[in-house]
Structure 1
């Protein structure tokens, strides 16, 4: 499930508030001299899960990600705030599509788990983009859900390596009322343009993008 560049965190949260798929948590690290560093991480778990699941990408020199990936141990107590976000959330009722890339697949995982838990997997379609099967977080789970997974640097028996095309995306938009885009700033811009090329109105597209942090 995690990749060589990511680590999965499963956390117990006291008095945890219910969350909607698409929301995120803010994790804050505090040094003995009270210096703090914080980062936001999307929730991967469904609200019915007794633990909160986050996926952390290990970034070279990343203050928070390197600590969470290399230093944190079972039993450590972390400062957290959440769940956060209202706009980039799915109500598990509206027919929706997730067009996600890299670690941006995490909200799509939360949405797919919520859809399965509600007995409504047909309401959600997912097109995920990764470099290769080994570098795509939750690759196996995405495929089990029925997602379309494309690789930019890995050819398969059915398609060459490369980003998804309008021809691949268009059939997934039939009947869709809402599209969620999540990934790097570059990916988000390309994905949003591709959705509009396929005829989706900008008012139907919700974008969450992220960039590298030091």
Structure 2
């Protein structure tokens, strides 16, 4: 373990496009379902629904957060609908499972998705037994990353010292609040990031392949 990572005792991972490659394009299925949900809810065509969906994502952190604020959408109904997808595109990743198993300390999934969906993804990847817990959108009181309250709630729920914690996410903007409270940050730069400026001062490490990066530090 590099000396700079020796203090890390809590290894926190985003789920989508982080624990599996963005090339799997699983989120594309969810994206289609979100657009369809917005179109049905608002009675618009799919083009306008997608514009609204992306505006809510950028303005509120997730499409769900925007729909809840603007239209009082039932989060359980929404999540059940958008997560009802096929997962054959995901492949078991035994090297990643082995690398995570070797990390010293606690391992937690921190996702804007919900627990049942996250468990389906982890099982498909062969990571079902790799993590102590899943801190999902419900545990965040439906206030998603990058809301600072999501990170504070995570630390409070598991008694985490941010100075001993490392957070990995494919969305660079989700790393900024983690860095602000003292976490070490890893950006999985795999093309899934939305273009939102060039400031990456809150990123400590960058990788294009999480498995390769973990194997390298071990």
Q: TM-score, normalised by structure 2?
A: 0.36
Which structure would you say has the larger RCO, counting Cα contacts within 8 Å and 6 or more residues apart? Answer: 2
More strand by share: 1
More helix by share: 2
Q: TM-score, normalised by structure 1?
A: 0.36
